[in-house]
Structure 1
Amino acid sequence: MKISLSDAHALVSDTLIRSKVSTENAKSVATALVMAEASGQGGHGFRRVPAYSAQARAGKVDGFATPVQEKPTPGVLRIDAQFGFAYPALDLMVAHLPDMARRQGIAIASIHKSHHAGVMGLTVERLAEMGLASMMFANAPAAMAAWGGSRPMFGTNPIAFGVPVAGDPIVIDLALSKVARGKIMAAKQKGVAIPDDWAFDPDGNPTTDPVKALEGTMVPAGGVKGAALAMMVELLAAGLTGAQFGYQSSSLFDDKGKPPALGQMIIAIDPQATGGPGIADHLVDIATEISAEEGVRLPGRRGKSARQQAALDGLEIEEDVINAINKI
């Protein structure tokens, strides 16, 4: 079925409110999921609603949690998500971190006791639209082994980067597994096979079965380099924030176990402070040069274009997804 963005937001928000989530938190989560869906990231969009709702009803995520912030030093914003959804904590970060970065040139937000960070490109894009460059790191429940091992140790541990370019930011958002785990979850929900180079089954063999893939481990992007980067993100997002490590965290896909208590780290940089008054034109120069070559698309532009189109035409929701939401 086709649905407008406003109706989609109301659908998700109302569903969460029925599932023991406060109105304010439900609206924050709904905004993130609808924007993910509109960006073409279905694995982080409406397909998350059943799991989010079940976790809130079970108390695995506290739907009524209010994130708490402190500023232990002028350049550090520390946020306790209180075992609630990540999105209200990220909203709190966006409300405070930009001013800190402008005053000092750079500032860091540390979030702990958090949950699924969603499409992190949307978060760094918000900062880029405020004139800041930023990097974001998040850990996730263990899904990848350390290089040479078979025990799930790190999550897919995404990295996102955004930089302002004349009002049209460049946004890079990537998981450190070969593909995002959400794509395998979406394949499971659709009942379709996955390529045999996405994941290993519990015995360490390549698999096309998304169920076995979710029980096994993900293939790291770039082999040993991707595994090393996943470790780096784990140390930044969980080690330095005091959050639980991926191997300690429960699944984001069911309502079993204790809160995942994950972490996120966001670094915001004021380009004017690092590059001087001509930095805006300097960034436009490299963006123009890169995109001048035929076939090259600057990262982040496709998702933004998709959201603009969705604002006009609405969203197509697959029948199985809408049925699952309507049953909640």
Structure 2
Amino acid sequence: MSRTLMLDQVHALSKAALIGAGTLEESASIVADSIVDAEAEGIRAVGLAYLPYYCQHVRVGKVSGLAVPKVKQTGKAALMADARNGFCHPAYVEGEKKFYTLARNCGIAGFGIQHSYASGVIGWFVDRIAKAGLVGFCFTNASASMAPAGGNRPLFGTNPIAFGVPRDGKPPLVIDQSSTATSRVSIAAKMEAGEPIPEGWGLDAMGNPCTDAKTVLGEGSMAPSGGYKGGGLALLVEIMAAGLTGANWSFEASDLGNDAGGPPDIGQFFMAIDPTAFGGANFSARIETLFQAMLDQDGVRLPGDRRHAHRLKAAREGVVVPDNLFQTLRDYARGEAA
């Protein structure tokens, strides 16, 4: 059985569940914004389906729901936030306006977050940067789940990277992809369902292709996207997200997939670029020329177009939520979750 929730109801339920688990109201509202966006874009795995992980991690202290982030300027075009082992979304929002101002004043700016936690859909951040008229990048590490190229022991996280570009009169172009062949939550969902994963998603302890989700998330590792190129991308993201911010390396972080080990203490790093400071005022027109040249070929779509279509549909029709997931979240909201 299931029910349909409009997006404002998704926000209310998400916020209430986080507050019920022990999160400050302001932080809960900001994190709920990201959950709504994930649901609106059709990414249930890191939307409402991932929210019970957030709530449980608040309850056990893996992420602090009571953390109040602190942001300080550390250079002419540099900001750092201490999330204080809380959610990264409130930490980002706390420094967001200053971040954009520095980018406009200097042409480019960097914003790091340390003592942080899982970020969900990182396209959420670069979409906000792009809507401010800036080109945005986001890098974040996570607990170890992927071996380096040639290795067989997890060292890097899924280590996603996201990129956002502003467009005149249209939603931003957003690219959001992990360094691994798929997301950890996708493999976890297969494991819970008792289903094999597609070949190419994971490796066993010897580094051989493996289709057993439990093995991949246990003694094995997730497969990189594009072979050694995915390993190189993971290393780049690791250096940007953890090296620049002083956060834990992925192999030092506690496992985000369970309740043990305390806060993961991972990091995020963002870049915002004022396109007019480099390419001049005709940046937007030139970007549209590029996009149109792509779309002139049959079968081509721009990254993010499917998500934008999902947004429009979800805004009109809401999203369908299984009753068991709804009940779990309502139990958290009431402080009754097992």
> Scaled by the length of structure 1, what TM-score is found?
0.96
Match of 1:271 among 269, 275, 285: 275
Match of 2:213 among 189, 210, 234: 210
For 1:200 and 1:306, locate their aligned partners in 2 and report how far apart those are by CA, in whole Å.
Answer: 33
Please state if 1:49 is matched with 2:67: no
Against the structure 1 CA distance between its residues 169 and 37, is the aligned structure 2 distance closer, same or farther, given a 3 Å change threshold? same
Q: Which residue of 1 aligns with 2:334?
A: none
> What residue identity is the alignment partner of 2:39?
E
Deviations 1:200-258 (A, max 9, x none): 23454433332222212110011111111111110111011100000000122222112
User: Is the Cα–Cα contact under 8 Å of residues 43 and 185 in structure 1 kept in the other structure?
Assistant: no
Against the structure 1 CA distance between its residues 223 and 136, is the aligned structure 2 distance closer, same or farther, given a 3 Å change threshold? same
Question: How far off is 1:289 after superposition?
Answer: 1.3
Match of 2:189 among 169, 182, 186: 186
Q: Which residue of 2 aligns with 1:292?
A: 296
Q: Which residue of 2 aligns with 1:281?
A: 285
Q: Which residue of 2 aligns with 1:160?
A: 162
User: Is the Cα–Cα contact under 8 Å of residues 113 and 245 in structure 2 kept in the other structure?
Assistant: yes
Match of 2:94 among 81, 92, 95: 92
For 2:45 and 2:208, locate their aligned partners in 1 and report how far apart those are by CA, in whole Å.
Answer: 24
Q: Which residue of 1 aligns with 2:18?
A: 16
User: Is the Cα–Cα contact under 8 Å of residues 108 and 265 in structure 1 kept in the other structure?
Assistant: yes
User: Is the Cα–Cα contact under 8 Å of residues 170 and 298 in structure 1 kept in the other structure?
Assistant: yes
Alignment of 1:12-91 (within 5 A): 12-91=14-93
Deviations 1:154-193 (A, max 9, x none): 0010010011122331111100101111211232344433
The count of residues paired between Structure 1 and Structure 2 equals 328
Please state if 1:238 is matched with 2:236: no
Match of 1:2 among 1, 4, 21: 4
In structure 2, list runs of 5 or more residues that go unmatched: 332-336
Question: How far off is 1:263 after superposition?
Answer: 0.6
Question: How far off is 1:318 after superposition?
Answer: 2.7
> What residue identity is the alignment partner of 2:321?
I
> Scaled by the length of structure 2, what TM-score is found?
0.93
Deviations 1:5-53 (A, max 9, x none): 1111111111111111111111111111121122121221112121111
Match of 1:303 among 302, 307, 314: 307
Question: How far off is 1:77 after superposition?
Answer: 0.7
What's the secondary structure of 1:173's corresponding residue? strand
For 2:38 and 2:204, locate their aligned partners in 1 and report how far apart those are by CA, in whole Å.
Answer: 28
In structure 1, list runs of 5 or more residues that go unmatched: none
For 2:34 and 2:190, locate their aligned partners in 1 and report how far apart those are by CA, in whole Å.
Answer: 21
Deviations 1:302-323 (A, max 9, x none): 1122112111100111344224
Please state if 1:111 is matched with 2:113: yes
Please state if 1:136 is matched with 2:164: no
For 1:210 and 1:90, locate their aligned partners in 2 and report how far apart those are by CA, in whole Å.
Answer: 33
User: Is the Cα–Cα contact under 8 Å of residues 153 and 205 in structure 2 kept in the other structure?
Assistant: no
> What residue identity is the alignment partner of 1:193?
P
For 2:45 and 2:215, locate their aligned partners in 1 and report how far apart those are by CA, in whole Å.
Answer: 18
> What residue identity is the alignment partner of 1:39?
E
For 1:292 and 1:254, locate their aligned partners in 2 and report how far apart those are by CA, in whole Å.
Answer: 47
For 2:18 and 2:197, locate their aligned partners in 1 and report how far apart those are by CA, in whole Å.
Answer: 30
